[in-house]
Structure 1
Amino acid sequence: MNGVRRSGKVSKHAGLSGIAIPLMTRFGYTPVFAGAVEATASMGGQIMPPVMGAVAFIMAETLNVPYADIVKAAVIPALLYYFTAFWMVHLEAGRKKLMGLSADECPNPWTALKENWHLALPLAALVWMLFHGFTPMFAGMMGLSLTAILLLGAAIAARISHTAFRMVFWFGCGLGAAAFLEFGIVPVLGVITLLVAVNLMVKGGHSTLRALRNSLIDGARQALPVGIACAIVGVIIGVLTLTGAATSFAGFIVDIGSHSLLASLVLTMLVCLVLGMGIPTIPNYIITSSIAAPALLKLGVPLIVSHMFVFYFGIMADLTPPVALAAFAAASIAKAPPMRIGFKATQIALAGFVVPYMAVYDPQLMLQGAWTWAGVLYVLSKAVLAIVLWGGVAVGYLRATLTLPERLAAFAAAALLVSAVPLTDELGFAAAALLLLAHGWRTRGQAAVAA
């Protein structure tokens, strides 16, 4: 089971890496850095709304909360995660004096969107249903059905010469698909059946049907390991519960948390990382959420925050050496040592390790508890400033190369901003301001020469 699931993730990751990694190395980034960036960005897709990964849907079902609540809690941490990756790439480019494409060489995303906007319609419908009370299972089924209608209809519309007839054809398909709001899935299946019948008779329709069949087969193959994992994990959870191991571990975390919440969070993180190195993300979340998340809840951590905490570190396990599955997938294309890529990816994905702790101490970062927009902006500013400083520490560059005392000061300021101890925020902001001013003054001549 493990091998099946992980090989699927590797193939998907490798497909994306096959484009991004050669482009980055061509522009001057090292193979290790390029592989680490791609591994970090690929893993972040599981925590990025609006769709996220399969664990988000399982979390919504487990907690019996609307999927929109899961998305609401995940959106700010996900943006911080990708901001970290962007900032690391930006600093590395500055450190190595790399230049980007000229304006006339950059592709125009608006042109691509204008030409292929219709391909986003099934995704838009899926997101709309998820945010309007439909179950994830029904929303996914409808998204798949609408995708089938789009593909089958495109094969037929390409053979209609007159624009007016094509518009009437698409209007009829859209009307039949929209009928699900009133009559359920039956009219949608009727439209698909009719389109399949027409594709059997038009030129090129057989190739479209084969492509659709192969896509359904691939989807079933990817879903099968998920179902098997959930079934086997149910047995593991039952064993842990009946033997009392789960209760003992949860009690141990609670006992530690009564003396130090930070120590219990670190222990929970280590458990998630170790489990994630041996099993896929989904069973990792199910096990840790049934053992560790209730203990964090008893320590006063909000429900969704406690589950997000174990969810995030289950994902980070695929970036963390010694296993670092995503790093191994990137290493085969980057032609670089996988362990070096894993350590660099861990460095780039810093927000994935820090933000869950910040959310526990200040749930407003996940829009939980009695949050206000002022409070959210305040904790978000702390997180962004800490990421900026930690990026400088990791790369050794901000406006120019950082000296050793500047790197130490940046690390201390970032640590103060993350800490949840009285006066640490004030000290962190003051230290960050002094550091940035001193660094800007010291490098003003270098910046003028570079410009």
Structure 2
Amino acid sequence: MTNSTPAADKQGPTAIFWIALAFSSFQLITAAFSPLTSQVVRTVHVGFVLLLIFTLYPPWEDHARLGGLGKVLGWVLGGTGFVFSLYHWWYEADLTQRAGELIPADWVVGVVTVALVFEAARRVMGWGLPIICGIFLLYGLFGEHLPGALAHRGFGLDQIVGALGFGTEGIYGTPTYVSSSYIFLFILFGAFLEQAGMITLFTDFAMGTVGHTRGGPAKVSVISSGLMGTINGSGVANVVTTGQFTIPLMKRFGYSPAFAGGVEATASMGGQIMPPVMGAVAFIMAETIDVPYVAIVQAALIPAMLYFATAFWMVHLEAGRKGLLGLPKSECPDPWAALRIRWYLLLPLIGLVLLLFSGYTPLFSGTVGLALTVVLIFGAAVMTGVHGRALRALFWVLLGLACAGFFQFGVGTFFGVVAVLVAISYIRQVGADTRKVALQAMVDGARHALPVAVACALVGVIISMINLTGVAAELGGRIISVGESSLFLALFLTMLICLVLGMGIPTIPNYIITSSLAAPVLLKLGVPLLVSHMFVFYFGIMADLTPPVALAAFAAAPIAHTSGLKISIQAVRIAVAGFIVPFMAVYSPALMLQSGDWADTAYVVFKALVAIGMWGAGAIGFLITRLNWFERVYAVVAASFLVVALPLTDEIGFGAVAVFVAWHVWRSRSARTSPA
């Protein structure tokens, strides 16, 4: 949620355009050639983020008299943040030698940078996250004066500033490391694919396959948003891209504005758990619990498919309840023709999947995937007639990547940079359209990364204060005492924490807070490590759909022309069955491939599909025909027995569902055969 419209949107490509381009170039060079230490990359990454945010969202932008002064102040604040980030680079050796001992210059850089990160996050996302992080900061400063078990031993201001502004546990902690390496690359990867026409491919394919079926326009939204989620991992970005087409289409064919927005918001948020790219949290999770990223992908695959099956089923039932038909077959594009025309766009995605599942790191896989996308853009230039120049540029790009990959640090970096510079000289001659696509993708990638990057920096405050004070152990002990008597109650409290936090902060800080506080508790209660983290991750996503503050719903509101609150209520209704899937994974870890064999996984997936079918019917009020209130309640209760992995509850659940389905089929047939 932003406070104002980015200034660059009004000015066009000016200095901000070139700063964003420089930001993306810096990230690509450091990812491919590793010329700098990780700590320097993190600080410069945050410096670029501050510079772009304060110039894109200057103070008093909408004030007639103060607008000009606000732009100047924005440049001053952003420039200060960027220059101070270079302080860590220039004095890297000195800072390492005197770690923990601050000189006056360290005090100025540390305090000002932390303050700028707080303000930058407020300007991009509103007050929610800065307030929560500010509470943790105040706890670190004054928590020693609290009564009882919440009090800590007390810390000096120099310890707080040193922990937040320097080292690897504050604003330059693990989230910023992940943001400056994996996340930025994958955001840039998605931006290049979008510029190359991936949205058109996904939309045409979805329209051609399900557009003509019952409720087809809403099913198009579910499929296209799910497919887009595989490459960008951003719920809000999905809403504002695919939603521009799908929401008006759903409204035109009879869905209410709130339901249309709810479908798009629900489907778009699922992109964060849809492999192979998933959302930024997946990369942070892999670093936090020290497991390969491919393990996260494997654990998320079945729940993600169940999530989208839920959304697909709900729109199908709503279409049946309202008697909505699909698009005329003649208006639907041929999905296979769309694949024949743009099949090459799938190559980077296929290459990314193969590399990830072959055991390569996300950093290497993302770099290669991005390189393949650039190759496609040059290939398009070749096919449009700019043969020689495009091929020469392509040759030098590939040579640069080869130098980076196969030579030692010094030689590889030197030849790699030379090769890229030569490639740029050819890129200038490739053609205006191709050059515009490449440059715009670089700029879009940098701008799309800003909310994620500043959130990753600011939540470092929370991580630092939790580690410094040890408050997580105290709160964890309280929840454990509850969970000893009831695991379900502990899970329910954890879910509430995730949803309440989600009212004001995005998924990334939500996950970091709850994984620090609640996930270790669930682990001690016997929940597998990966399942416990996926549990809080899942509900961090669902928090973006729940009122009163639902980021995805409010992003859909201007497109649907209705209130974000109405959309969020419909989104919760559409995703209602999805709230139960994490609970099923805890009781049956085979759902996330964490226990048992394929037979166990198949059984729990079958249970989940049956439960989703019944919850959907109860929430919508329709199966074959309309359901009355008693039938709706009965369907939900019957499905709830399938959540707990006990033989008795499974038998009761399957039996109750079978009775309900038989009754409903008999009643619907009787209604059709009875005289009008």
Partner of 2:362: 136
Which structure has more relative contact order (CA 8 Å, sep 6+)? It is: 1
> What is the identity, as a one-letter code, of the residue corresponding to 2:440?
N
Partner of 2:503: 277
Instruction: Report 1:41-440 matches (<5 A).
Output: 41-159=267-385, 179=402, 183=406, 193=421, 195-202=423-430, 205-369=431-595, 371-421=596-646, 423-440=648-665
Q: By how many angstroms is 1:48 displaced? A: 0.7
Bigger shift: residues 273-282 or 80-89: 273-282
Q: Quick one: distance in 2 between partners of 1:154 and 1:245?
A: 55
Q: Matched residue of 2:623: which SS?
A: coil
Alignment CA distance shift 1:181-1:128 (3 Å): farther
Alignment CA distance shift 1:145-1:425 (3 Å): same
Alignment CA distance shift 1:217-1:142 (3 Å): same
In the alignment, is the contact (CA less than 8 A) between 1:359 and 1:365 conserved in 2?
A: yes
Q: Quick one: distance in 2 between partners of 1:146 and 1:37?
A: 33
In the alignment, is the contact (CA less than 8 A) between 2:390 and 2:426 conserved in 1?
A: no
Q: Quick one: distance in 1 between partners of 2:535 and 2:368?
A: 31
Q: Quick one: distance in 2 between partners of 1:194 and 1:5?
A: 40
Q: Matched residue of 2:484: which SS?
A: helix
Q: Quick one: distance in 2 between partners of 1:380 and 1:330?
A: 31
In the alignment, is the contact (CA less than 8 A) between 1:72 and 1:366 conserved in 2?
A: yes
> What is the identity, as a one-letter code, of the residue corresponding to 1:183?
F
Q: Quick one: distance in 2 between partners of 1:447 and 1:68?
A: 51
Q: Matched residue of 1:52: which SS?
A: coil
TM-score (norm 1): 0.90
Q: By how many angstroms is 1:442 displaced? A: 1.0
In the alignment, is the contact (CA less than 8 A) between 1:275 and 1:284 conserved in 2?
A: yes
Note the alpha carbon deviations across 1:45-64, whole angstroms, 9 max, x for none. Answer: 00011111111111112222
Q: By how many angstroms is 1:190 displaced? A: 7.2
Q: Matched residue of 1:241: which SS?
A: helix
Partner of 1:4: 124
Note the alpha carbon deviations across 1:176-216, whole angstroms, 9 max, x for none. Answer: 699589727878877755553333234xx234223322321
Instruction: Report 1:15-26 matches (<5 A).
Output: 15-26=241-252
In the alignment, is the contact (CA less than 8 A) between 2:236 and 2:269 conserved in 1?
A: no
Q: By how many angstroms is 1:172 displaced? A: 6.5
> What is the identity, as a one-letter code, of the residue corresponding to 2:566?
R
Note the alpha carbon deviations across 1:13-61, whole angstroms, 9 max, x for none. Answer: 2232111111111111111111110110010000011111111111112
Q: Quick one: distance in 1 between partners of 2:653 and 2:549?
A: 35
Partner of 2:84: none
Bigger shift: residues 174-183 or 425-434: 174-183
Q: By how many angstroms is 1:282 displaced? A: 1.2
TM-score (norm 2): 0.61
In the alignment, is the contact (CA less than 8 A) between 1:399 and 1:447 conserved in 2?
A: no
> What is the identity, as a one-letter code, of the residue corresponding to 1:396?
G
Note the alpha carbon deviations across 1:71-100, whole angstroms, 9 max, x for none. Answer: 110011101100111111111111111111
Q: Quick one: distance in 2 between partners of 1:293 and 1:133?
A: 26
Q: Matched residue of 1:418: which SS?
A: coil
Bigger shift: residues 187-196 or 381-390: 187-196
Q: Quick one: distance in 2 between partners of 1:120 and 1:388?
A: 32
Bigger shift: residues 323-332 or 33-42: 323-332
In the alignment, is the contact (CA less than 8 A) between 1:288 and 1:310 conserved in 2?
A: yes
Aligned-pair RMSD on alpha carbons? 2.9
In the alignment, is the contact (CA less than 8 A) between 1:2 and 1:279 conserved in 2?
A: no
In the alignment, is the contact (CA less than 8 A) between 2:270 and 2:308 conserved in 1?
A: yes
Q: How many residues align?
A: 443
In the alignment, is the contact (CA less than 8 A) between 2:352 and 2:368 conserved in 1?
A: yes
Alignment CA distance shift 1:61-1:447 (3 Å): farther
Q: By how many angstroms is 1:217 displaced? A: 2.2
> What is the identity, as a one-letter code, of the residue corresponding to 1:303?
L
> Unpaired segments of 5 or more residues in structure 2?
1-120, 127-233
Q: Matched residue of 1:423: which SS?
A: helix
Q: Quick one: distance in 2 between partners of 1:426 and 1:228?
A: 49
Q: Quick one: distance in 2 between partners of 1:232 and 1:391?
A: 38
> What is the identity, as a one-letter code, of the residue corresponding to 1:399?
I
Alignment CA distance shift 1:5-1:151 (3 Å): farther
Bigger shift: residues 80-89 or 134-143: 134-143
In the alignment, is the contact (CA less than 8 A) between 1:152 and 1:196 conserved in 2?
A: no
Alignment CA distance shift 1:224-1:344 (3 Å): closer
Q: Quick one: distance in 1 between partners of 2:391 and 2:611?
A: 55
In the alignment, is the contact (CA less than 8 A) between 2:553 and 2:571 conserved in 1?
A: yes
Q: Quick one: distance in 2 between partners of 1:218 and 1:135?
A: 24
Q: Quick one: distance in 1 between partners of 2:397 and 2:447?
A: 30
Q: Quick one: distance in 1 between partners of 2:658 and 2:259?
A: 29
Q: Quick one: distance in 2 between partners of 1:403 and 1:333?
A: 33
Q: Quick one: distance in 1 between partners of 2:279 and 2:673?
A: 45
Q: Quick one: distance in 2 between partners of 1:382 and 1:106?
A: 35
Note the alpha carbon deviations across 1:202-245, whole angstroms, 9 max, x for none. Answer: 4xx23422332232122223334433322322221221233332
In the alignment, is the contact (CA less than 8 A) between 2:577 and 2:616 conserved in 1?
A: no
Alignment CA distance shift 1:126-1:181 (3 Å): farther
> What is the identity, as a one-letter code, of the residue corresponding to 2:616?
G
Whichever of the two has the greater Rg, that structure is: 2
Alignment CA distance shift 1:221-1:106 (3 Å): closer
> Unpaired segments of 5 or more residues in structure 1?
none
> What is the identity, as a one-letter code, of the residue corresponding to 2:625?
A
> What is the identity, as a one-letter code, of the residue corresponding to 1:336?
T
Alignment CA distance shift 1:172-1:117 (3 Å): farther
Q: Quick one: distance in 1 between partners of 2:599 and 2:589?
A: 13
Note the alpha carbon deviations across 1:354-408, whole angstroms, 9 max, x for none. Answer: 1000000110111102x21111111111111111111111111100111233222
Q: Quick one: distance in 1 between partners of 2:393 and 2:480?
A: 59
